[in-house]
Chains A and B, each alone.
Chain A
């Protein structure tokens, strides 16, 4: 422990802003991600109302709002459990941290499972990636979001694994619960935007 802290101290002799460099880097990265999803969402918005000159199924004809509302709620709750994990770590309760981490990852998996179910349904009902540009845009947007959630789950499980292995999570170690938390909240916020713009607004 002392060794690692020592090594970090050399590198971060001082931080001009007072914010941990890794945390700042995560913020900067997430600001870029907003533009990434912004472009994907505008892409969907452009195509969602178009009349195509051929027989095709549009995403909005297939939305199952109650179902997606539940999976959105699940994802929102995962932000709560993430905060609880963070709080538990701040209080030094390693067991509770692990529990909430696992809960967050589980909720994320439920969300991904819901998305898998939704995609399967849509494809069975005849709307695939190549049906029309609006369908392409829908699958691409929600697919990239799902990929982000998946990466988040991998990170959460890594934290869980490290914690189980080392008996505790230390702030100084390469992966930091706070960074994963920032990322996880970002993915949730983006989903709120997607759910509102893509699903709820006709």
Chain B
């Protein structure tokens, strides 16, 4: 009559090792998960970058034949899909994972194993999407000189990252590539939804003593807003993706205009998700910049509450501007006016942030280290992108700009000059915390300037290319259009950006082993993650921190004189040395979430279901779904049986080391509540 699930009753032995490959595959440690998110996202960044370079080679000269139309379609679709869903979102998740618990003074997130599930579902979802390269089928685009061999490169999803119906529906997109896209995004959405719930609960419930909501670092606030945006926008795209999948697989008629379906409905659903998504991409970078600018200006963030509330306002208003993506889709004049106005209005909270950042730098003692360069670059480039964005709120102007390279220029200024500059700023800023070593500052600055020049050479000319009539998503342009020289400049710029990425990769891989030791607080920073040793110890904090102020660490290090200037307290160095000591040698034993096999198994089961749905008419379709479901459900059962922490770590009664016993097979619950019952309950 066991009143508890004995640790002995698991399907597998508990993973014993926390190091090596198995340590990574089974970890529930938010820092390791964050690092895996980061590296995986970076690999996808390289893929998306290669796709961009292929596009640019094709467009370098007029009437080029480097890519076929089919391949070009696949490349621009996968470039957008990869950069958004497989790079910027997971790279932001990498920062959330690694930093969020550290910044609020917690030992982990609210659901450590669910956190691992998010990562594995993301990874397998990304692989599923890209497996279209091997298994996907499609026909060449129809018309004129378009029909050419599709090839493997053309067998990636090809309907654009927005997947507009009916172009992505069964009638106009034959084969399976858009099924890979729709189901792949559905899987990635599940991963994001789980992590959004996890981060929200973590921020609500896991804050250190004294860490009130308005003492949280701005980065944490932006994480919070992003998590809510994900929470409310992902279910909408989930429904839309179900609809397109049903249309393609099961013959429903949602987007088939000939049967009375409504293609514009897809646009509404997509952008009702898609516009909050834009803020999902940019707000993490805004959070990073709001940490970097004060640190390197040696001043507190100017107008902290304004920055926080502007972020929240952007979150709310982000749900009210979606139809500005659809001004040329035949929406009514009232709709156009309303969404034009709301689009102008959302520039206000964004402007508040920009001025607060300028106010932060103003009068500061600025140190132009690499993170600061990227942060200032972010502010400058984002302003350019924001201004060109506001021009879209003027509906007649938007009719001229839409589907031209002007739009491409605009969103690359906000997403590359904005989000990606911000992410690189964060990568340099927290590099010492991650590795315990300092990156090479010279190479870092070189990276910034190469990036800055390459970025502006790539995306600046796109403004006038677009205004001169160069349309998006077209794989060739005529010689007579006179677009050739600037297109060549753009292509050169793209390769300069690639050079910058190579410099970054070299700097990263060299410095993480050979860079000078960084110490605990190399930037003289403000937030809690700098109060622990570098690299962060597994248990995060030796003793749980207690917070008494906004920028608590700074307040502990600095006093202010009668003119409000910061004066370092004489006790600061001794305090930091003591923090490092307690950080490395916690006074009391700390229990951490133990590693588990089940998160990766849950993730691995999901693609089977995806393949099963795509090939459900073939004989192995249904078996694939069954196998996938069995793996997922089985993993959840095993999960439910396994306690979060190893209770008996260091005693000799290691029940968990025993092989599963005969009675260990059934009747257990799990976090999601499914159960396996067998026949022995009648006598209970």
Contacts and interface: CB of A to CB of B under 8 A. Distances in A.
Interface stretch (B305-313, B348-356, B663-671): B663-671
B558 interface: no
16 contacts: A8-B644, A12-B205, A21-B110, A21-B205, A25-B197, A32-B193, A39-B240, A43-B243, A43-B254, A50-B260, A129-B252, A130-B253, A161-B667, A164-B682, A167-B1, A175-B669
A173 interface: yes
B1 A29 contact: no
A52 interface: yes
Interface in B188-210: 193, 196-198, 200-201, 204-207, 209
A21 B201 contact: yes
Interface string A47-84: 10010111000000000000000000000000000000
Nearest to B235: A36
Contacts of B669: 158-159, 162, 173-175
Interface in A1-41: 1, 3-4, 6-8, 10-17, 19, 21, 24-25, 28-29, 31-33, 35-36, 38-40
Contacts of A31: 231-232
Contacts of A164: 681-682, 684
A180 B240 contact: no
B261 interface: yes
Contact of A175 (B261, B262, B670): B670
B505 interface: no
Nearest to A20: B205
Nearest to A162: B669
Given A7-B643, A32-B232, A155-B674, A19 B3 contact: no
A173 B234 CA distance: 30
B21 interface: no
Q: Which 7 A-B pairs have the closest CB atoms?
A: A158-B675, A155-B673, A36-B235, A136-B252, A39-B239, A175-B669, A35-B235
A165 B681 contact: yes
A168 interface: yes
A136 B253 contact: yes
Nearest to B669: A175
Interface string B413-435: 00000000000000000000000
B234 A32 contact: yes
Grouping DSSP codes into helix (H, G, I), strand (E, B) and loop, the B interface class, with mixed when no group exceeds half, is loop
B201 A25 contact: yes
A101 interface: no
B238 interface: yes
A133 B260 contact: yes
Dominant SS at the A interface? helix
Contacts of B5: 4, 173-174
B503 interface: no
Contact of A4 (B1, B260, B643, B682): B643
Interface in B249-285: 250-254, 256, 259-262, 265, 269
Interface of B: 1-5, 108, 110-111, 193, 196-198, 200-201, 204-207, 209, 211, 231-236, 238-240, 242-243, 246, 250-254, 256, 259-262, 265, 269, 544, 591, 593, 640, 643-645, 647, 667-675, 677, 680-682, 684
A11 B670 CA distance: 17
A13 B262 contact: no
Nearest to A175: B669
Nearest to B212: A16
B253 A133 contact: yes
A86 to B, nearest CB: 15
A118 to B, nearest CB: 19
Contact of A133 (B111, B201, B250, B252): B252
A15 B240 CA distance: 36
A149 interface: no
Contact of B207 (A16, A144, A168): A16
A175 B673 contact: yes
A24 B231 CA distance: 14
A137 interface: yes
B232 A140 contact: no
A115 interface: no
A147 B2 CA distance: 33
Given A7-B644, A167-B684, A175-B640, 19 more contacts: A3-B643, A11-B645, A15-B206, A16-B206, A16-B207, A17-B205, A25-B111, A32-B196, A39-B269, A52-B260, A129-B251, A133-B254, A136-B253, A161-B667, A166-B2, A173-B4, A174-B669, A174-B671, A175-B669
Contacts of A17: 204-205
A133 B259 contact: yes
Nearest to A11: B644
A142 interface: no
B582 to A, nearest CB: 17
A6 B646 CA distance: 11
A109 interface: no
B275 to A, nearest CB: 15
Contact of B236 (A39, A50, A174): A39
A7 B110 contact: no
Contacts of A174: 5, 640, 669-671
Contacts of A161: 667, 675, 677, 681
B287 to A, nearest CB: 20
A4 to B, nearest CB: 5
A157 interface: yes
A200 interface: no
Nearest to B590: A10
Interface centre among B108, B205, B231, B233 (most CB of A within 10 A): B205
